[in-house]
């Protein structure tokens, strides 16, 4: 064998070794990355309270209600939230359901992890109140982390699809009751609707350009909602 041939063969073997090594490095890197991703997923899941995304026992429901509004009729806790919220509660944000899904249906939707959406409360067309995210946690409702960290968010059922997105009187009166109760329990002395995010009564469209939420009907009522809640807060502290 020529000397050159021997050298070439030697180099060939070296190349094979290098290839072998890089395949193994690549594989090892992939395995390490998979483990890291898996651990991160498990960690973020284990951080969720065990009360989310399932029916609660009677005792669990009562315990949840005791920490939130006594006006609550239905509880189904959503995993789509930050546990706990980072700011103290200073605001209320109103949304509309874009229809009347029913509190149980909405609970099911918010119970799905993929939906990435929730609200603290919803008021049904019949005036019943649902709790989906406990007040101590931040619901994912208003397209603004900053707002939702400070706000209790409420979805209100409509009795008209489209148009003004009208809200019936049972839902409207229940909304006034719920807002008053949230203010009382969280030390909010007065609600003010300024038409922008500087007030402590806010609406979804202040934070998202391409939404009508909560619709013309409720938007027009914001000043009146603040007034009626404030009247009650005043008479109750007098
Ligand atoms: Zn909304």
H-state helical runs in 113-214: 145-150, 169-186
Query: Within a 10 A sphere around the Cβ of 115, how many other Cβ atoms?
Result: 14
Instruction: Please report where in the chains the tokens 């998202």 appear, as a residue.
Output: 208
Q: Which two three-digit tokens encode residue 133?
A: 């995210």
Residue 143 makes CB contacts below 8 A (sequence gap 6+) with 204, 207, 208, 211
* Structural domain spans, the chain: 1-47, 58-237
Instruction: Please report where in the chains the tokens 């669990």 appear, as a residue.
Output: 60
Distance from the alpha carbon of residue 96 to the mean position of ligand 1, in angstroms: 6
CA–CA separation, 182 and 219 (whole Å): 20
How much is the average pLDDT of 108-124? 97
Distance from the alpha carbon of residue 94 to the mean position of ligand 1, in angstroms: 7
Query: Within a 10 A sphere around the Cβ of 78, how many other Cβ atoms?
Result: 27
Q: What is the rounded radius of gyration, in angstroms, for the C-alpha atoms of the chain? A: 27
Q: For residue range 138-171, what is the model confidence (pLDDT) as tens digits?
A: 999 999 999 999 999 999 999 999 999 999 999 9
Distance from the alpha carbon of residue 120 to the mean position of ligand 1, in angstroms: 12
How much is the average pLDDT of 126-141? 98
Please give the share of the chain, as a percent, with pLDDT higher than 70: 91
Distance from the alpha carbon of residue 48 to the mean position of ligand 1, in angstroms: 24
Whether residue 188 contacts residue 237, with contact meaning beta carbons closer than 8 Å, is answered with no
Distance from the alpha carbon of residue 150 to the mean position of ligand 1, in angstroms: 16
Among residues 226, 218, 230, the alpha carbon closest in space to that of 199 is found at: 226
pLDDT of 127 reads 98
Distance from the alpha carbon of residue 65 to the mean position of ligand 1, in angstroms: 24
The domain made up of 58-237 is a member of CATH 3.40.50.800: no
Distance from the alpha carbon of residue 167 to the mean position of ligand 1, in angstroms: 14
Distance from the alpha carbon of residue 43 to the mean position of ligand 1, in angstroms: 30
Q: Which two three-digit tokens encode residue 102?
A: 């029913």
Distance from the alpha carbon of residue 117 to the mean position of ligand 1, in angstroms: 10
Whether residue 65 contacts residue 75, with contact meaning beta carbons closer than 8 Å, is answered with yes
Distance from the alpha carbon of residue 19 to the mean position of ligand 1, in angstroms: 56
Q: 75: helix, coil or strand? A: strand
Distance from the alpha carbon of residue 22 to the mean position of ligand 1, in angstroms: 52
What is the pTM assigned to this prediction? 0.82
Supply the DSSP symbol for 232: H
Residue 215 makes CB contacts below 8 A (sequence gap 6+) with 96, 98, 158, 164, 165, 166
Distance from the alpha carbon of residue 142 to the mean position of ligand 1, in angstroms: 6
pLDDT tier at 41, thresholds 50, 70, 90? low
Q: For residue range 212-235, what is the model confidence (pLDDT) as tens digits?
A: 999 999 999 999 999 999 999 998
Mean pLDDT, the chain, rounded, equals 93
Distance from the alpha carbon of residue 132 to the mean position of ligand 1, in angstroms: 15
């Amino acid at each position: 064998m020529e000397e050159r041939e021997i050298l070439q063969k030697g180099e060939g073997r070296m190349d094979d070794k290098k290839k072998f090594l890089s395949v193994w490095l690549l594989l090892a890197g992939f395995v390490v990355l998979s483990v890291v991703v898996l651990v991160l997923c498990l960690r973020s899941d284990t951080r969720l309270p065990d009360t989310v995304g399932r029916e609660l026992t009677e005792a669990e429901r009562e315990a949840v209600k005791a920490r939130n509004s006594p006006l609550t009729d239905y509880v189904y806790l959503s995993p789509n939230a930050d546990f706990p919220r980072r700011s103290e509660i200073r605001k209320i944000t109103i949304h509309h359901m874009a229809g009347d899904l029913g509190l149980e249906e909405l609970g099911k939707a918010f119970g799905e992890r993929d939906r990435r959406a929730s609200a603290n409360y919803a008021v049904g067309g019949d005036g019943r109140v649902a709790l989906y995210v406990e007040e101590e946690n931040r619901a994912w409702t208003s397209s603004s982390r900053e707002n939702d960290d400070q706000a209790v968010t409420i979805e209100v059922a409509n009795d008209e699809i489209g148009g003004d997105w009208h809200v019936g009187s049972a839902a409207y009166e229940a909304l006034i009751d719920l807002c008053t109760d949230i203010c009382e329990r969280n030390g909010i002395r007065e609600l003010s609707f300024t038409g922008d995010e500087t007030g402590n009564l806010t609406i979804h469209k202040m934070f998202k350009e391409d939404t009508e939420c909560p619709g013309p009907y409720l938007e027009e009522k914001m000043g009146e909602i603040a007034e009626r809640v404030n009247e009650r807060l005043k008479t109750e502290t007098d």
